[in-house]
Structure 1
Amino acid sequence: MNATRNKALVAWMDEHGHSSNSLAEAVNRALEQLTGRTGGLDGSSVRDWKAGRVQWPKSATRRALETVSGLPATALGFVPRRRASSTQATLQEDLDMKRRNVVGGLVAAAAAAAPGNAGRRRIGMNDVNRLQQRFAEVVASDHRYGGQRGIEQHAAALADEALNLQSAGSATQRVRNNLYGCAASFRSSAMWAAIDGRRYADARAHMREAQALAEMSGDQAIKFRIWSHAGAMYRHIGRPGEAFAANDVARSLHITRRDPMFASLGLARQAAIHGAAHDRTGTCRALDQAQDALQRMDSDAHRPVWLLAFYDQAELNSLALSAFLALGDYPTAESHAHRCLATLRPHMRRSHAITTTRLAHAQLAQGDLESAATTAMYVPADAATEHARVSRMLQEFGAALRARAPRSSIAQTWTEHTRDAWKAST
């Protein structure tokens, strides 16, 4: 059987400027740090990965490669032996592996130090730092896959692990507050994954736990994230009154007065809620204020990883796109879509699919059927079939296209595309 070229790895190397030799050197350095022994990889080893001749490197090599890339091996196109290769199976394998091999160490340590066991250990900031590294991985998975139940379950499990450490040994109040903050962070990611997957009952359950944990942590940044997510959730389910109330809680926190980046995000999401409420004046005012705050922010200030990973000018334009689509101002929505796509960072794959889909809707509403269909076909098949929000919007797009031109060649082309390209990805 012929080997299949590892396109995901090749794309990642191109994106990050790695040659086969430079990646081999980077992985060798990571291997030395992880194992204490110098790695023996060279350019030919990486070329074997790229060509698909090696589909599942040895465990230490995989771990080193994950350290270098910041991504699970499966996200880089490597295929576990005798495992399914769909996006969902890939994600679940990644999450299971990380839970067993990495976070499982925290569970074992907690069990060893639990009441009744000899030698209760002291919980310190090293434990907190390990949890925060896992949180960064959850955030990265979310931006890559988005809305998957596996991410939700993984984040919820990590929240439980953070809480387990509270009873695993002695700790200072600072450490305990940080553990509650970690638990709240994981639970807020579970909440967002449920929102993104349109599992709103699950999202509300995660929200209640996240809010309680955030209060115990005293962490203003995670409080903002949870209440801001709550505002987005209520906006998505068509309850703008509650969306305003939740987002106002986020915007009233002191952190929005200390840091213009938080203020800008709160205002940008407020604009999207105004759009859902069909308030054009409120939308434009909030967007102007969000833009002003973003321009005033100090780029060198210390901020949480979840905020730095996604909020920038592209995200502001994405929220403006959502607002003007809801208002029915399709030319302005299209303009913001193009601006968003022009500056969207490469790792924001989920956001790219959502923005592209919204752009197609804006073009279709203006009667540009050909451009709209072409745009919609750029949405990757895995996002179209496996991301709940994207899938729903594309179904609505197809229905609107067929309603406008039921017997046109464009509608027929779209139908064939969804039948062939999407079916092949499932």
Structure 2
Amino acid sequence: MAASPHSPNSSFRRLRGQRSPAEFAGMVRRAAKEIGETVSCDARYIGRVESGEIRCPNYAYERVFLHMFPGHTLTDLGFSPREAVRGRSAHRIPSPRIPSPPLSLFSGFTHFSKESDVLRRAFMAGGSATVAAAATLNLTLLGDNRRIPARAGESEAEAVEDAVRQIRLLDDRHGADALYRKAAEPLRTAYALLDAGATRQSTEDRLHAGAGELAISVGWLAHDSGRFEDARSHYAEALATARVSGDAALEAHAFSNAAFLAGDRGRPRESVRAAQAGARAARGLGSARLLSLLALREAGGWAGMADRKSCEDALTRAHTHFSRGPAPADPEWMSFFGEAELEFLEARCWAALGEYSRAARHARRAADLQDPHFARNVALYTSELADDLARAGAPDEAAWAGHRVLDLLTEVQSTRVQSILSGTARALVPHQRSPRVGAFLTRHASA
């Protein structure tokens, strides 16, 4: 049986037998070498697997484990199905609940598990195929009649919630650029449903929360595709929804994203203030991981102001909160926030402070830790690594990482990643006589 969330993976523990976690980690590294894989396995990783924190290994580890234990499946080894890991809260992973017509968000997603594979293949073809795949989405919550009901019910609230999950899933795999315009339609419909009112207070509360989370998701698509003013507007809409409904969790989420956006817009002081406001909203929610993320957002703001002491203080708080582990109160949207994201956000802090070698160490760890299933994050972390290496005086390594990002950009559409990589290319121009750097610059220019 697959391990349930936060339950020890007893199947994997039995396979370790009498060996220590460090000894078993050594076996994993040797097995990886046998099949040409590279994994950074240590005793801590084994502990995370056995505790149930890692519910599904990335593809590199999957190949290694199946090589070590022939005839076994991932389920035999105690892991959860990969599709169950993303898009649900840390303490609850039901099977996808897609509303029946006429309330389907995507007309092509009534049977989501089957159709998502088709859409994924279309996205992975890249370029015009990505746009074509996005164009097939019928982004409506209302079906064919397109009429707002007199009062919204549970099915409408469920449709809004599923819209959020589906958009996040597609963004994880393919990036934001091809999704943003289409995702705005269900957001307008969600707020129209909210204006219509609901049949009961519990449904109205769900609609408020769902509409707010949808506004943040659409705002993130705008943010990641470089539409900063649109993103700011959507995040403000989510914050207003949170304030009207008294939803502290939604307020904390909106402030977290607002802090991130402010940093990207070169407004570090605004980033610090938004992160601190988010922490105040999150204080009573019982989620140490949420407080960790908000401390990292604050650290990024302090780094942007070149305030090293305040940045280090915020990083210390982030690590302290993170070390307390996941909790049932962790918000559903935070399923992306694990050790890889923590390492990435810390890398950005050190880069902003000009410590590029230190930043590169954290970025490399982020890329190594991230499950390749989430191609957009792998591309983002690797682009950060390439940029840090270029500025740390390691041009050949930077070019290697840049090639890897270009490989990933056949799957991912992200203006954010492309922008980082363009900066890396500019930084590498003085080293273009190096064969590896020259090859990267040529390939980047043609791409």
Q: Any conservation in 2 of the 1:230–1:243 contact (CA below 8 Å)? A: yes
Please give the TM-score of this superposition, normalised by the length of structure 2.
0.70
For 1:142, the equivalent position in structure 2 comes to 171
**Structure (1 or 2) with the greater helix fraction:** 1
Distance across 1 between alignment mates of 2:128 and 2:408: 9
String of CA shifts for 1:276-326, please: whole Å, max 9, x gaps.
Answer: 222222222211211111121344x04332112x11111111100111111
Distance 1:318 1:349 in 2: 15
* Distance of 2:99 and 2:236 partners within structure 1: 39
- Alpha-carbon shift at residue 247 of structure 1 (Å): 1.3
Query: What TM-score does the superposition give when structure 1 sets the normalisation length?
Result: 0.73
CA contact (8 A) 1:155 1:187 kept: no
Helix, strand or coil for the counterpart of 1:379? Answer: helix
Q: Check conservation: 1:110, 1:168, Cα contact below 8 A.
A: no
Q: 381-390 vs 353-362, which deviates more?
A: 381-390
CA distance in 2, matches of 1:390, 1:216: 35
Match among 186, 206, 210 for residue 178 of structure 1: 206
User: Gapped runs of 5+ residues in structure 2?
Assistant: 1-58, 67-72, 75-80, 82-94, 101-106
CA contact (8 A) 1:256 1:263 kept: no
1:74 aligns with 2:119: yes
- The answer to whether 1:416 aligns with 2:445 is no
2:343 maps to which of 314, 317, 320: 317
Looking at structure 2, the residues matched to 221 and 34 of structure 1 have their Cα atoms a distance apart, in angstroms, of 25
- Considering Cα pairs closer than 8 Å and 6+ residues apart, tell me whether 1 or 2 has the greater RCO: 2
The structural deviation recorded for 1:327 is 0.9
Equivalent residues in 2 for 1:333-348 (5 A)? 333-348=359-374
Residue equivalent to 1:6: none
User: How far does residue 353 in structure 1 lie from its aligned partner after superposition?
Assistant: 1.0
Give 1:402's aligned residue. Answer: 429
Q: In structure 2, do the counterparts of structure 1 residues 136 and 323 end up closer, same or farther at CA, with 3 Å as the change threshold? A: same
* 2:137 paired with 1:97: yes
Q: Hey, what's the Cα distance between the residues in 2 that align with 1:201 and 1:186?
A: 17
Q: Matches of 1:174 and 1:303 in 2, distance apart?
A: 21
Partner of 2:395: 369
User: Aligned partner of 1:342: which letter?
Assistant: D
- Maintained 8 Å contact 1:159/1:184: no
**Matching residue of 1:378:** 404
Deviation of 1:108 (Å): 3.6
The residue number in structure 1 matching 2:11 is: none
Among the aligned pairs, what percent are the same residue? 25
Equivalences for residues 383-394 of structure 1 within 5 A: 383=409, 386-394=413-421
- In the TM superposition, 1:20-31 aligns within 5 A as none
Q: After alignment, is 138-147 or 165-174 more displaced?
A: 165-174
Note if contact 1:264-1:293 (Cα within 8 Å) is conserved in structure 2.
Answer: yes
Question: C-alpha distance in 2, partners of 1:73/1:316?
Answer: 32
Matched residue count: 353
Structure 1 unmatched ranges of 5 or more:
1-10, 24-29, 36-58, 80-84, 115-121
Matched with 1:233 is: 261
Residue of 97, 100, 125 corresponding to 2:154: 125
**In the TM superposition, what whole-angstrom CA distance separates every residue of 1:207-257 from its partner, at most 9, and x where no partner exists?**
232222222232222211111111111101111111111111111114466
**Distance change >3 Å, CA 331–CA 256, structure 1 → 2:** farther
Tell whether 2:257 aligns with 1:218: no
Q: 1:169 to 1:267 in 2, by over 3 A?
A: closer
Q: Say if 1:215 and 1:89 are closer, same or farther in 2 by CA, change over 3 A.
A: farther
